[in-house]
């Protein structure tokens, strides 16, 4: 297991070129920021948060428009972006853990190659699982009283980021039946709101932008977060949700759930790949270096705004942002999982959901 330490985070943040070139001028241009999910999920909220800030920071202050291209759990949009070679600075693409996981698991629908893309910004996030009130009343910090209940969960797909909650709930001994095929986590939240699902999870931006209101209204009860990593690579409480226990804490309190062994090692490996660095902004292959440097400098300016910590914490959570070389190193972290963890997850996907993936 690769440890994603605070020292590594500091190195990612520090490894950033700052100089923008005066040769790039985007005055009067429209920059399309393509998100391969629906407009209701966490990736949409992430891009919509950064888009106006990026517009202000780019030379010429172009209009930055977020466009959505959902389908196949983000694979449709990622495959489309692989074919793009518009290197003039008018196209960027946002990926998420649900784009990374199929790539890591050799999903046959993947026709994209991360090494062809040019990362200019990356950010971490967290995730919160929550229950409908009846189940929430039984939750006592363990899943012991939830094991005799049947749960329905709206899922983008077993090979997507949803494998993190699905594997966690199985390790807890819970009976969670996924309904596959939704186009974004926001659609899963809508299923929960309509009573079509009674358990859900959202990434931090999606939770803050929608699910937190359900909790405040008494329509949902937080169960656990996936946590964050400390300087030694240990899972600790998510800084955005310090009052909510982590999956590790709930597992330790639940009979039959172990925080060691193959299942735990596999879960943690995919958590590390999917959350500390989850969302990335890319320029297409073939982009000129001047354009790359301009975007790196613009995202650096966004990150260095005096009000950035305050406004980002309220919208996307309290997590690091990486740019330039730091984003490149973050991408390497996000697309690296030990083979043993991959093998375990592929076997689990086959046995639990009939998903056959190449070795």
| Same structural domain, 110 and 68 | yes
CATH code, 88: 3.40.190.150
Residue 355 in domain: no
Q: Phi and psi dihedrals of 171, rounded to 5? A: -60, -30
Residue 247: domain span: 127-273
| DSSP E strands, the chain | 30-35, 63-68, 91-95, 118-123, 127-131, 150-155, 175-180, 199-203, 221-225, 228-229, 235-236, 279-283, 321-323
CATH number of the domain residue 216 falls in: 3.40.190.10
In a shared domain, residues 200 and 90: no
Q: Are residues 290 and 302 in the same domain?
A: yes
31, 74: one domain: yes
Global pTM reads: 0.84
Cα–Cα dist 190/201, whole Å: 12
Distance CA 97, CA 296 (A): 22
Residues 224 and 133 in one domain: yes
Averaged in consecutive runs of 10 residues, what is the pLDDT profile of the chain (359 residues)?
45 44 85 94 93 98 97 93 92 94 93 97 95 98 98 94 96 97 91 98 93 97 95 90 98 98 96 91 96 97 96 92 92 92 96 89
Residue 203 C-beta-side C-alpha neighbours within 13 Å: 32
In a domain, 354, yes or no: no
251 and 175 assigned to the same domain: yes
């Amino acid at each position: 297991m690769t440890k994603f330490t605070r020292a590594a985070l500091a190195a990612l943040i520090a490894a950033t070129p700052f100089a923008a070139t005066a040769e790039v001028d985007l005055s009067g241009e429209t920059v399309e920021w393509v998100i391969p999910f629906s407009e209701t999920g966490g990736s949409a909220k992430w891009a919509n948060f950064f888009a106006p800030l990026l517009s202000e920071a780019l030379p010429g202050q172009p209009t930055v428009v977020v466009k959505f291209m959902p389908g196949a759990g983000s694979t449709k949009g990622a495959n489309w972006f692989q074919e793009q070679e518009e290197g003039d600075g008018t196209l960027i693409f946002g990926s998420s853990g649900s784009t990374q996981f199929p790539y890591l698991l050799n999903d046959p629908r993947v026709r994209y190659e991360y090494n062809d893309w040019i990362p200019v910004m990356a950010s971490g996030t967290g995730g919160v699982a929550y229950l409908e009130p009846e189940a929430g009343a039984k939750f006592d910090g363990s899943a012991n009283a939830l094991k005799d209940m049947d749960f329905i969960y709206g899922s983008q797909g077993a090979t997507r980021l949803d494998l993190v909650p699905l594997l966690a709930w199985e390790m807890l001994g819970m009976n969670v039946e996924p309904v596959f095929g939704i186009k974004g986590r926001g659609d899963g939240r809508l299923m929960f709101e309509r009573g079509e699902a009674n358990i859900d999870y959202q990434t931090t931006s999606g939770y803050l932008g929608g699910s937190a209101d359900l909790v405040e209204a008494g329509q949902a009860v937080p169960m656990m977060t996936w946590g964050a990593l400390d300087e030694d690579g240990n899972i600790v409480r998510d800084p955005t949700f310090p009052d909510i226990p982590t999956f590790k804490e709930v597992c330790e309190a639940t009979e039959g759930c172990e925080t060691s062994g193959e299942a735990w090692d596999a879960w943690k490996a995919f958590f590390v790949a999917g959350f500390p660095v989850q969302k990335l902004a890319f320029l297409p292959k073939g982009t000129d270096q001047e354009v790359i440097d301009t975007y790196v400098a613009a995202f650096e300016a966004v990150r260095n705004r005096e009000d950035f910590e305050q406004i980002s914490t309220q919208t996307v959570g309290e997590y690091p942002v990486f740019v330039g070389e730091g984003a490149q190193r973050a991408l390497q972290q996000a697309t690296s999982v030990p083979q043993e963890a991959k093998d375990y997850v592929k076997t689990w996907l086959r046995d639990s959901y009939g998903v056959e993936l190449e070795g």
